[in-house]
Amino acid sequence: MGIFHNAADAVTSLFVRAAHCTFKFIAAILLAVIKTLSFIAAELWDMLKAIGGSILWLWREFTESFRSRVKLSNELTRKVRKAKKEGKREYITALLNFAGSFFFGENGVIYTAFNYTLPILCIAFLVGVVRFGSGLEYGIAVEYNGHEIGIISAEADFDSAARDVQQRVAYSDNGEALDMSAKLSLRVISDDDKFITAGQLADKMLEASDEDLTEAYGIYIDGSFVGAVSNKKAVEDALEDRLLNYEVKGTVRDVSYVNKIEYTKGIYLRNSVKSEDETIAQLTSKKEKKRVYVAQTGDNVVSVAQKYGMELEKFNELNPDVSTTLKDGQMINVIQTESFLPIQYVREMDTLSFLEYETIEVETSALNVGVVATLTKGERGEKESKIEITYVDGIEASRKVISNNITKNPVMEVIGYGTYSAMPDDPDTCFFGQPLTGTGELGWPLDGGWVSDTFISDRNHKGLDIAAPEGTEIYAAEEGQVVSAGWNSGGYGNVVMIEHPNGYATVYGHMISVYAVEGEYVQKGQLIGFVGNTGNSFGDHCHFEVRYQGICYDPASFLNTENMAEEKKKRDEERE
C-alpha cells in the first residue's frame, strides 16, 4: 500500500508543477501583451498631442490678426467713452482717432483684409498666367540674311533644310559653300502666321542668297540630291521602261529599284539643272568594279563567270592560277557590273535537300562476340524547301526560307557489336575436327559442347546432337516466341520449341529441366534450359533442330564457329 501512496503523491506533485508552469507561462504572455498595448497607446497619445499642437498653432497664427483687431477695437472704444466724459472736443478727437485706427491702423480692417486676401489674389493671378500661357502656340522664327523667312515647328527642320541647300549649291561654279548661319528665336504664333516645311525653308534660304536660281524638279536618291530637271516626266518614263524591259530568268515578282527615288519641286541652282537626256544617261549608267568571290560547293569556272556575266578570257586573265574545278572557300577575282540605280527582283524556288542520318553503335546478342555488323542501314532523309531569293542586278544578294517540309525522315544507321558469347569447347574442331562455316544466322545454343551426331545420320537424324555434361546451360539460338516448353511423349523428353520472326523454328530436346515458359518472348542468348538425358536419349546431350514450315534443315548450315576461335583464345588467356 505504501508503494501506491508514494506513486500517487509523485503524480499529484507532477500535475501541480505542470499547472504552476502553465500559469506562469500564461501570465508572462498576458504581461507582454499588456506592455505592448501600453507602448502602442503611449505612442498614439504622443502622436495625437503633436497633431493637436500643430492644429492649435495654425489656428493661433490664422486668427492672430483677427484677435489683434478685436483687442484694438476694445481699446479704442474705452478711449471714446472716456473722452465723452471729458468734453465735446475730446470726444470728437477720440472718434476721429477711433475711425482712423479702426480702418487704417496697423491692425485695422484694411490691413487685416490685405493680409488675408493678398495670398489668395496671388494664387489666382498665377493660375491665370499659367492657363493663358498654356493656351498659346509657339513656333521657331528663322531669320536669314537679316530677314525673317519663315516659322518652323522644330529646330530639326532647319538642320534638314540646311543640308538640302548645301547639296543643291554643290553644283555652284564658284565652289564656295553657302553661309548657313541663321538666327532662330522662339515666339508666340498669331493667326496670320503659318508654319513652313523643311523643303519650303530651303527654297526661301536659296531665294535669300545671291545665287542664280530657277524653279525645277530636284532628283533625290535615298535622300541625296543628284541633280535637277525642268521636266520630270521624261525621266520617270525612262526609268519605268527600264524596269518593264529588264531581263529576268524564270517567274519573278517585285521588280523595283533598290534605291528610293524622289522628285521634289523647288528652287535650285540654274547650273544644277540638266537636260532630260543627260539625266537619264546618268541614272541608267553602269560601271565595272573588281571584287573577290568566295567559291561555294558546286561552283566551277564557267558557273562563276556566267554569274557575273564575264567572258572566260577575262576570267582567266584575272585568275591565271585557278583550275577548272574550284575548291570550297577558294577566293576568286571577278568583275562585277554595278548600276547607278541597281534593279532588284524576287524569285521563289522549290529546292530539295538531304538530311544526313545519324549512326549509333549498340551491343547486341544477335551477333557473336567479336562480330561487328550493320544491323540497320542508314538512309538520308529528304526535305523540300520553298525559298525566296533576292537578286540585285541579276546576282543573288540574299535568300530566305519561307517554308520547310520533310518528305522523308532519315533512317538511323545501327552498328551492332556482338555480345553473344556461347561457343563450343573447341570452335576449330567442333564438327569432327572442322569448324562450322554456315551463315551464322543462329548462335551456338550451349555454353560449350561438341557435335556428337550430325543431321540425317544413318538413322534418319532430324537435328544436330551437341554433347555436353549434364546441367550445361542451353540458350535460345535466336529471339522468338516460346510455343512449347515441357515434357514431350514423342521421344524428345523435356523440350523447348521457339518460333522466330523470320518464319523458322528451333527445337531443343532431352533437357534435364526446362527454364523457359510457354508463351514468353525470349531474346537470343537467353537461358531456356539445361542439358540432360531425358526421352529417347543415350547420353547427356542437346538435340538441336531447325525447321521451316514443318521441314527440318541441317542446323550446321546456320551455325558458324570459325570466327569464334580468336574469341575463345582471348577468353582462355583471361582465365589464366
Together in a domain, 175 and 246? yes
Rg (CA), the chain: 56
Give the chain's domain count.
Answer: 4
In a domain, 103, yes or no: no
Together in a domain, 434 and 558? yes
Together in a domain, 427 and 565? yes
Question: pLDDT value at position 1?
Answer: 46
In a domain, 471, yes or no: yes
Question: pLDDT value at position 4?
Answer: 45
Task: With beta carbons less than 8 A apart as the criterion, state whether 466 and 446 touch.
Answer: yes
Rounded (5°) CA angle 173-174-178: 110
| 3-state secondary structure (DSSP) of residue 189 | coil
At which of 304, 339, 374 does a domain end?
Answer: 339
> Residue-wise pLDDT tens for the chain (576 aa)?
444 455 556 666 666 677 777 777 787 788 878 878 888 888 888 888 788 877 877 676 666 666 666 666 667 677 666 666 666 666 677 666 666 666 665 555 566 655 656 667 667 666 655 555 555 677 777 777 767 777 777 778 777 777 777 777 665 555 555 666 677 777 777 767 777 787 777 777 777 666 777 888 988 989 888 888 888 898 899 889 988 888 887 788 888 998 999 998 888 888 778 888 888 888 888 887 788 878 777 778 777 777 777 777 777 877 887 777 777 877 888 777 788 889 898 988 888 888 898 999 988 877 777 778 888 898 999 999 899 888 888 887 888 888 889 989 999 999 988 888 888 988 877 777 788 888 888 999 998 999 999 998 777 889 999 999 999 999 999 999 999 999 998 899 999 999 999 999 999 999 999 999 999 999 999 999 999 999 999 899 999 999 999 999 999 999 988 777 666 666 666 655
Question: pLDDT value at position 101?
Answer: 62
In a domain, 133, yes or no: no
Task: With beta carbons less than 8 A apart as the criterion, state whether 187 and 139 touch.
Answer: yes
Question: pLDDT value at position 42?
Answer: 81
Together in a domain, 277 and 153? yes
Together in a domain, 528 and 390? no
Comparing C-alpha atoms, which of 285, 238, 288, 256 is closest to residue 391? 256
Together in a domain, 445 and 462? yes
CATH number at residue 376: 2.20.230.10
CATH number at residue 547: 2.70.70.10
Task: With beta carbons less than 8 A apart as the criterion, state whether 442 and 477 touch.
Answer: yes
Together in a domain, 525 and 428? yes
Together in a domain, 395 and 521? no
In a domain, 88, yes or no: no
Angle between helices 276-283 and 233-244 (to 10 degrees): 30
CATH number at residue 308: 3.10.350.10
Together in a domain, 389 and 454? no
Backbone angles phi, psi at 378, to 5 degrees: -75, 145
Together in a domain, 296 and 376? no
In a domain, 483, yes or no: yes
At which of 416, 435, 466 does a domain end?
Answer: 416
CA distance 569 to 351: 56
Together in a domain, 534 and 499? yes
Q: What is the pTM of this model?
A: 0.48
At which of 416, 447, 474 does a domain end?
Answer: 416
Question: pLDDT value at position 90?
Answer: 66
Q: Give the β-pairing of 183-188 and 138-144.
A: antiparallel
Together in a domain, 333 and 358? no
In a domain, 454, yes or no: yes
CA dihedral (308, 313, 314, 319) in degrees, to 10, reads: 90
In a domain, 506, yes or no: yes
Domain that holds residue 366: 347-416
Comparing C-alpha atoms, which of 421, 473, 415, 467 is closest to residue 443? 421
| 3-state secondary structure (DSSP) of residue 573 | helix
In DSSP notation, 217-277 reads EEEEETTEEEEEES-SHHHHHHHHHHHHT---SSSEEEEEESS-EEEEEEEEEGGGEE-HH
In a domain, 34, yes or no: no
